[in-house]
Amino acid sequence: MPAPRPSQPRLARSPRAALAHLRAADPAMERAIAAVGKFALPEREATLHLLCASVIGQSISVKAAEKIVGRFSERVGDPTRLTPTKLLATSEAELQALGLTRGKACALHGLGELWRRERWTSAKLDRLPDEEIAGKLVAVKGIGPWTAKMFLIFGLRRPDVLPFEDLGLREGLRVIHGLEQRPTPEETKRLAAPWAPWSTVGTVYVWCFLMKLKGETLAGEHGWW
């Protein structure tokens, strides 16, 4: 019987090494780090419900997403105990009645089938590398790289994830670098390349900085500090 794979690294509760690296590797990040200070990233378990919520929230406002996720949770029950069987027992028509588009309802069923086929659990996902998880997720119709990366960041708290497609990250980089235009995804990869192996920390600091400018917050009740 093969030995189990070791767990993949998660972000430490106090990533001081990450902040030291970001300051040294990308002086422009100092502006974001100084403005944000210590922040809290919500603690979330890597569940099927969290993945479904990420899909539901694609391309709609935060308030709209919260309402639909609330209806979804009421329909399927306790978020921490959502199983593929329970998800797949909810028809696509029922999901659409909650406010999901046809495409998102289809994507949720695809995720349920994937989760069941792979027999995923939070513990099993902890042992899989980022590339394997993302590859299987994007193979599901309606699931793109952005959704896969959000799951890696918020569900699995992987330290080196760069969602270069994300508009918030690109706009934040425009501000901290004093650019006239928002960088393209390719330019974003170049600007953020020095952040590795702490791309997640750099990304979240840029998000927090941008939200702070807007008078909003990404903070939750629990975080790294």
Query: Where are the domains positioned within the chain?
Result: 16-41+161-213, 48-155
CATH classification code of 48-155: 1.10.340.30
* pLDDT given at position 127: 93
Q: Which residues of 36-57 are buried (b: 16+ CB within 10 A; e: fewer)?
A: beebebeebebbbbbbbbbbbb
C-beta neighbour count of 8 within 10 angstroms: 18
Query: Which of these, 145, 168, 149, lies nearest to 157 by C-alpha position?
Result: 149
C-beta neighbour count of 81 within 10 angstroms: 11
Residues of the chain with pLDDT under 50: 219-225
CATH topology of domain 16-41+161-213: Endonuclease Iii, domain 2 (1.10.1670)
Helix (H, G, I), strand (E, B) or coil at 203: helix
* pLDDT given at position 80: 84
* pLDDT given at position 4: 56
* pLDDT given at position 220: 42
* pLDDT given at position 23: 93
Q: Is 166 a catalytic residue?
A: yes
* pLDDT given at position 223: 40
Distance CA 131, CA 192 (A): 19
* pLDDT given at position 12: 65
Residue whose pair of structure tokens reads 């901290």 in the numeric block: 176
